């Protein structure tokens, strides 16, 4: 058995605890660092549109005038995901 260190993607702290599982049995984690926002995260997302970096790209592309279809095509995600964000 191998133990892998888990770091928070927001503050890079190693004070992380397990916080249940998602509906598709992926492990959720929660950062215990007081300076970090208390929100759960997953190490390996199964859908590209759920990645925080992709969500940020959606917002940036919308602010720069890209349409929802163009954004979906470039990022290779569903247009419904773009509209929901």
Res 79 pLDDT > 70: yes
DSSP 24-85: TSPEEEEE--TTS---EEESS-SSGGGSHHHHHHHHHHHHTT--HHHHHHHHTS-HHHHHH-
pLDDT in tens, 26-75: 899 999 888 888 888 888 777 778 788 889 999 999 999 999 999 999 99
Q: pLDDT class for 21, splitting at 50, 70, 90? A: very high
Query: Cα separation of 13 and 31, whole Å?
Result: 7
Q: pLDDT class for 1, splitting at 50, 70, 90? A: low
């Amino acid at each position: 058995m191998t133990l892998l260190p888990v770091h928070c993607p927001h503050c890079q702290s190693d004070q992380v605890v397990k916080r249940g599982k998602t509906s598709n049995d992926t492990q959720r984690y929660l950062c215990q660092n007081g300076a970090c926002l208390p929100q759960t995260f997953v190490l390996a997302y199964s859908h590209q549109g759920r990645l925080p970096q992709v969500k940020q790209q959606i917002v940036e592309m919308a602010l720069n005038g890209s349409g929802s279809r163009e954004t979906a095509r470039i990022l290779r995600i569903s247009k419904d995901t773009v509209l929901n964000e």
